[in-house]
Amino acid sequence: MAHSPLPRGPVLGIESSCDETAAAIVAPDGRILAERVYSQIADHAAFGGVVPEIAARAHLAALGAMVKDALREAGLGFGDLAAIAGTAGPGLIGGLLVGTGYAKGVAIAAGKTYLAINHLEAHALTARLPGLAPVRPAFPYLLLLLSGGHSQCVAVEGVGSYRLLGSTLDDAVGEAFDKTAKLLGLPYPGGPSLEAIAQEGDARAVPLPRPMLHREGCDFSFSGLKTAVAQLVAAEPPGALARARAADIAASFQAAVTDILGDRLDHALKLCPDASAIIIAGGVAANTAIRTRLAAVAEKEGKPLIAPPLRLCTDNAVMVAWAAQERLAVGQASALNAPCKPRWPLEQLSA
């Protein structure tokens, strides 16, 4: 429920839900006063995926210096901030505790408002950052959230008001990219590696299934597609795949995913016909082929497509600080004992 607006001013946002440590300071008018991101890719590459304990320790080691650098760039001190915001979920519990613990500590020491931010809501509201699009999207709009942990179609009806239209029944789309890349012997992180090699391949070379295609609603399924790739690879001669073969499989896989996403978006629009715009967010939204396909669907339906710049598609603290600004504007803040939630569905915020 909205209350009287809280005091406004710059907000420090902290993101530590997975393997990026990030801090940013955003003004009420949307100006990004400073941003810092430390990627942990090198820390996890040897393991082929994110190791939660390593991630949490890296957040702890990096966060303090990053915040100091951000404040220096913005020309501010802790006393100049209106609020401190930290990602409280969903995500890896160790990283969430590090980030929110730091945010709460600063809020207590500086006597500032604290906001526990839902990572998915931060993605959902990024499109409203002033200057990001020619026209700021009005509520309601349709969000297609595509990441390593989530594949969702959401009607964004207001700050804190979300209606889930469809989600994955098994793997998230980013997870399917990463697992397929690993099957093809591609380096970590898998999604960008698969997209790069797919440019060398023939997208029609390998017939692959399109799960849920033309099915009513807008739920997703990617497990069967991933399994089909695994069976293809298992049938190949022993040893590393030839690069040309890996490129053809990668291109065919990416084409299947773009077909699925285009179809699911088309169905989602039928469930949210009054959407003012289509927003795509999350790490997979950085994929050029996917952006192109979704833009075609949006153009066919006469809806503007808003895709954040690539750096704001992946995990970042600008979106956390901006989500906090949106909440402050409607008088919403968090208690200092607000818990971290490794699982925190977006639609729970509406309750």
- Please give the average per-residue pLDDT across 78-102, as a whole number: 98
Question: Region 217-240: what's the mean pLDDT?
Answer: 95
What average pLDDT does this structure show over 44-71? 94
Residues of the binding site for Fe cation:
119, 123, 315
| Bind-site residues | 119, 123, 145-149, 178, 191, 195, 287, 315
Query: Residue range 170-195: average pLDDT?
Result: 95
Mean pLDDT, rounded, of the chain: 95
pLDDT, one tens digit per residue, over 258-314 is 999 999 999 999 999 999 999 999 989 999 999 999 999 999 999 999 998 988 988
Q: What is the DSSP letter of 160?
A: T
Question: Per residue in 195-206, pLDDT tens?
Answer: 999 999 999 999
Burial class (CB in 10 A: 0-12, 13-18, 19+), 235: exposed
pLDDT of residue 5: 59
Detail the residues annotated as belonging to a binding site for substrate. 145-149, 178, 191, 195, 287
Question: What is this structure's pTM?
Answer: 0.94
pLDDT above 50 for 191: yes
Residue 316: what pLDDT?
96
Residue 25 scores a pLDDT above 60: yes
pLDDT the model gives residue 4? 55
Using alpha carbons, select from 149, 99, 98, 90 the residue that is nearest to residue 121. Answer: 90
Nearest to 189 by CA among 283, 68, 282, 297: 283
Q: What is the mean pLDDT of residues 221-229?
A: 96
Give all domains of the chain, ordered by start, each with its CATH number.
11-127+314-350 (3.30.420.40), 140-307 (3.30.420.40)
Strand spans (E) along the chain: 11-15, 20-26, 32-39, 83-89, 113-118, 141-146, 151-158, 161-167, 278-281, 305-306
Residue 208 above 90 pLDDT? yes
Say if residue 1's pLDDT is above 80: no
Alpha-carbon 226 to chain mean position: 21
Q: How far apart are CA 21 and CA 38, in angstroms?
A: 5
Could you give the percent of the chain with pLDDT greater than 90?
A: 87
Confidence of residue 52 (pLDDT cuts 50, 70, 90): very high
In this predicted structure, the answer to whether residue 116 has a pLDDT above a threshold of 80 is yes
